[in-house]
Chains A and B, each alone.
Chain A
């Protein structure tokens, strides 16, 4: 085998790293936005709206862009989706709004660029000093939110808007959830996640408390005592393992952790292997592979156990990986890790077919200094283990309004069943906030008296 254990930082000069992690799809210019906005037919009962999890009134905001009413355009977006700026950057629009755009019926792949227009309008708002929404008069009700990811943030903003006082707890020191440490760096370049949070918080009435771990430093029982309602947006904290005994060796990393390290450190200080193998078929796998490549890895292979049609990464993302120089291999299942002392040296795969399963006799080995596991994230129920909250199929069970089985406790985002997308988390948070608001406004003074 070749050189052993080649993992290093700063494989590329800083200037190159900066370029590699700059905005992957820079915003539209005024001219581009005007031309694109004019393509929209301004459909009635537009199918694109139905395909947006947050139901943004797309024809309306695009019409507003076309008429140079950017305040109207951005407010239309933000009133449905307060994280419209990050959604515009991270949504896989090819399977959401843009997939349903009627232009695709005229010519495949020629949808109106809804996401890009959404970014154009929300960027305008981000450059203003004003906040488009006003907080209602204080209701005196307090709501605790656990998890400052998209679900928790959207919930907080909507509640604050309705006049409630919100405290968000998160085990991280900074708010943002996966927007801050999960989504690919070049999708949310220029510290956008933080800027958006500042914007969102500027409505007032929202406090953030970092370093607060549910199940450790705080408990649901305490929160229920001190607050009128609780929303859980704690996402997925676990990752699936490959199931090999020697999985703990040096160089075998969980892709989410790799990305988190990358998002929270200086790029030149992030270690990356010379030859990297990424295992998985979702967006996390793609993001890990492309970012490893852009950090300076030489050979990147993304290995997926089934065929392209089974991948949960969209075709756009798969192409993105390929145009970024990632080799994508299908129908290969990890069989065992090759190690030398305590470090990974390679990984052996069994070839498979749609019909016949995987054949351990028919195998191949990829040399690797780093193996990134991206075979799925899971919900970890530990923080709520003691509370009788119903968990089914590995996610917290909620009704259409985000209510869990425990009165006064709501949940949404990745910790509940759904699409596992930023935009879906925003919808869940927003809808739960509306339900909480309705409940709080209907509830009697009795509760006030009880809870002080």
Chain B
């Protein structure tokens, strides 16, 4: 059995699966159930100053696709709407009762040193394992100069991080907003401010859809809508890219990264680890299916690690990072060609029409006696992969790597007017 025990910025948990700061971690009742279900840790729903914020009704909008619900979720919720003292008392109780689990407290107070100085000892007193600075909330709080409004300005990120580091002994995780053009700017600022770790991504600014009757963005609140924060399976690719960029950045070398964004199963988890994450945070998947989804994450990850011979999480964390390179370091001599398994093919024609209408015309069509026959015209196939992606039958189309004759990257490529000549 693979060892899933996690030590992240000094914070210990029995497995890398933490619930992200969000409604599932908003109170003792939920967190207790989450721990009973097997979650390794929680990042408590963001605490702010009293009086607590006031939330709206309704709060969520969802993106579905071809019958699947909630491939993306958008929310216009704010931080915890319960009094600080209530949250603090509950955190303390839960931590005492589940000493082996990671309890991290997410915080967001106005950008004034006094305010941070005031809240930190209160949190510390709970026995929590660390804090996470919510510099990410992209709606509502940012209009009050908190959340993403801080996270988008590297100087503020650095400054607030430093205040925290100076005023608490707890590890400080800085949660980054993806609503920036270059994720490295706030990430480096966090490190400069002394952050023990970064976590990302928080939600992405979005309008999830338009209610065509109300003629207003969804969710519609009394006839109007606002932009919200987007998360769920659909944001995974964005999160992976940002995590990878930080993981491979020399100035960030060694910083623990808590991966967040669309993690829904063990496979997503393994991918986040491979791209550099040392712990994993989940929100939407738990909101969609409940805490029980962690069961498959834990045993799926551990079975996969056993199969691959990885003993500890460290064996996986960052394993794909050195293979994550800029485009111009890819070998231009490498080539794959699509291959159709004619026994598996059901003759739906999707590969053909996708290729036909996407400029390559590399899959021919013939009407056979029982079904249509589709064949790859190898000389026309550019190895783009599109057919394999549209084929509804698993493993029916494979991309077969062709023999490679050496390596040639764009910087040396003859077609590159700026090529490097020896």
Contact = CB atoms under 8 A, between A and B. Distances in A.
A43 B348 contact: yes
B122 interface: no
Contacts of B224: none
Interface stretch (A33-41, A302-310, A405-413): A33-41
A38 B346 CA distance: 18
A47 B371 contact: yes
Contacts of B66: 38, 66
In this complex, the interface size class of chain A, counting residues with CB under 8 Å from chain B, is 10 to 19
A102 B67 contact: no
A106 B67 contact: no
A41 B371 contact: no
A41 B353 contact: no
Interface string B344-361: 001111101100000000
Given A38-B67, A41-B392, A105 B371 contact: yes
A45 B372 CA distance: 9
B115 interface: no
B372 A47 contact: yes
B221 interface: no
B351 to A, nearest CB: 9
Interface in A362-403: none
A169 B66 CA distance: 48
B393 A106 contact: yes
A410 to B, nearest CB: 30
Given A34-B67, A38-B66, A102 B352 contact: no
Given A41-B392, A47-B371, A66-B66, A102 B346 contact: yes
A44 B346 contact: no
A46 interface: yes
Nearest to A37: B67
Interface string B51-76: 00000000000000011000000000
B33 interface: no
B15 to A, nearest CB: 35
A148 to B, nearest CB: 37
A44 B353 contact: yes
Interface residues of B, number: 14
B348 A41 contact: yes
Contact of A43 (B67, B349, B393): B349
A141 B264 CA distance: 66
Nearest to B65: A38
Contact of A46 (B67, B349, B393): B349
Contact of B346 (A34, A35, A45, A106): A106
Contacts of A43: 347-350
B373 to A, nearest CB: 12
Interface in A12-47: 34-35, 38, 41-47
Given A35-B67, A38-B66, A38-B67, A47 B347 contact: yes
Contacts of A106: 346, 393
A38 B67 CA distance: 6
Nearest to A36: B67
A172 to B, nearest CB: 42
B365 interface: yes
Interface in B373-406: 392-393
A44 B350 contact: yes
B216 to A, nearest CB: 19
Nearest to A103: B346
A436 B90 CA distance: 83
Nearest to B68: A38
Contacts of B67: 34-35, 38, 66
Interface string B320-353: 0000000000000000000000000011111011
A34 B349 CA distance: 23
Interface string A83-117: 00000000000000000001101100000000000
Contacts of A102: 346-348, 371
Contacts of B352: 44-45
Task: Pick from B348, B392, B393 the residue with the most CB of A within 10 Å.
Answer: B348
Contacts of B346: 102-103, 105-106
A51 to B, nearest CB: 12
A45 B373 CA distance: 12
Contacts of B348: 41, 43-44, 46, 102
A415 B135 CA distance: 78
Contacts of A45: 349, 352-353, 365, 372
Contacts of B371: 47, 102, 105
Interface in B198-214: none
30 contacts: A38-B66, A38-B67, A41-B348, A41-B350, A42-B350, A43-B347, A43-B348, A43-B349, A44-B348, A44-B349, A44-B350, A44-B352, A45-B349, A45-B352, A45-B372, A46-B348, A46-B349, A47-B347, A47-B371, A47-B372, A66-B66, A66-B67, A102-B346, A102-B347, A102-B348, A103-B346, A105-B347, A105-B371, A106-B346, A106-B393
Given A43-B348, A45-B349, A102-B348, 15 more contacts: A38-B66, A41-B348, A41-B350, A42-B350, A43-B350, A44-B349, A44-B352, A44-B353, A45-B365, A46-B348, A46-B349, A47-B372, A66-B66, A102-B346, A105-B371
Interface of B: 66-67, 346-350, 352-353, 365, 371-372, 392-393
Interface of A: 34-35, 38, 41-47, 66, 102-103, 105-106
Q: Which 5 A-B pairs have the closest CB atoms?
A: A38-B67, A44-B349, A44-B353, A105-B346, A102-B346
